[in-house]
Structure 1
Amino acid sequence: MLVKAYGKINISLDIVGKREDGYHLLKMIMQNVDLYDSMSFQKCNKGINISCNKPYIPTDEKNLVYKAAKLFMETYNISEGVNIYLKKNIPVAAGMAGGSTDAAAVFKTLKELFEMDIDDNELMNLGVKIGADVPYCIIGGTALCEGIGDIITPLAPFKNQILVLVKPNFGVSTKEVYKNLDISKIFKHPDTEALIKAMEEEKLQDVCNNMKNLLENVTLRKYPVLKRIKEDMIRMGAMGAMMSGSGPTIFAFFDDMLKAQRCYDKFKTQYKEVYITRTI
């Protein structure tokens, strides 16, 4: 089986509290974009065998693809094995749920491959054990995600919006970002309801005016270059620019493909991982 695992951006990321176990309680609007990893799956006699087009990506227990396959097979007592080839396109450690979307694709595909009768809710409960973004990636599209990311409410689709994505030449650890976040210093929260309304009505300027990511407080302070990327994108005609997830990817919405192309061309001379894409 051949499948596509789509990346995501956060159109908002709010932190509404903290659990006793240290996990932050979130309120986020997540949105799939047309940038994806390709994966192929094949049954084999035994074992989980992973190969990848990028040599720096681990293919053992450190990879979320491996973790997801192992968890699935142990949970449902599957004795056969699987070969998985991962063609990685989504930037790594970028705030775009690259690893989580691959893990979600593993759950959904193994369910088909081994002809299991499992619903999405069951897969989402399994997904939380791998990572907080996995339940969203199982559902995909446009969604409000709450709790630790495990309570998903699908929203009206916000598709075909033009985006430019810039991932600088470094990664960011989500764990580190949350560790350095001081909730007591957060005074301005995103207006999630206003954002949902603007998205439903497809009023792009209102969406851009209301987007907010509280993790920018940490990541942009540590990496001032990200602030410059945002400012440059706005100067080049973007209607709004923001960091996705814990970063460092910066995305910008455009109402015009020509402006988006100019922005893409400029950043492509400075960075390797620059993309023009759309929301899906």
Structure 2
Amino acid sequence: MRVPCFLSTAARSFSLPCPAAGLLCCRLLGPNSVTRNMSSTRQMDHLERTASNYRQNALYPAHVCGIINESETVKRLRIAVHPDFSFKAGQWVDYFIPGVEKVGGFSMCSCPGLLQREGVVELAVKYTKHPPAHWIHRVCTVGSQVAMRVGGDFFFDPSPSDPSVDLLLVAGGVGINPLYSILLHTTELLHRNQASGGRDYNIGSAHLCYSAKNTQELLFKSSIIAACQEFPDKLSCDLHITQQSTDVDSHLQPFINRGRITEEELRAHVDLQRTLCFLCGPPPMIEALSKTLMDFGLPKDRILFEKWW
């Protein structure tokens, strides 16, 4: 693969010590947490917002090998990456585009298993006027050369010996991306556990609460529903729409709720001893739901979040 001119030809990955080992490495809700302040009159760019986050040292060349219109506002890219590229479910990439000064920051919506099988990762990017997103929607084509560097402290990466947990995944809008990555990884863990006769990691359950404006903006809905149907005793979902006046397709109706995610819904899927909650969406949503979960008595160190707006 040709290395873009702004990269060193000797991109070699090596791991840095992670702030926490074992089951997860996460951003915690607490007085010492560094959150992304969105009230500033000048919105910080991706590199500023994530300056305190873990990121790999290596910057890898890559190229776009597929483009899918996921919705009217979201494009999903398939990106062929360097053989040494690696990531954990839920992490993001610094996204470097030749000729574009701003660096993009996008959570991967694929899982590590896809990378291992096909050598590709996927990003689902909503259109905005921000230069990297604008480039993806207006300029990017199959074959476009880019470069990526993995980062992020928000991921789920259990080892076979780690204790079983119940996952509660809560997403708003395109905040589904890292949580979909985690959900896909969870299904792969379930397959591995079946294939090993129960010797691999044994997850308790995973429930997804996902809210978007309308059913078209519920990204990956068919795959989410299919995963829940494949493992009905382990996976479940509640899909919410907040601004749709038209009827919902009949095959989606059993999974669709009108209105926002409720406290009652969250409470039904919280076990104070077993639940590990991942939240990703607009800051006001995350802040409100984080407070609700803590009011239930869920410990702060079991409420993990990522804010992208």
Calculate the TM-score normalised by the size of structure 1: 0.28
Structure with more contact order per residue of length (Cα contacts < 8 Å, sep ≥ 6): 1
Calculate the TM-score normalised by the size of structure 2: 0.27
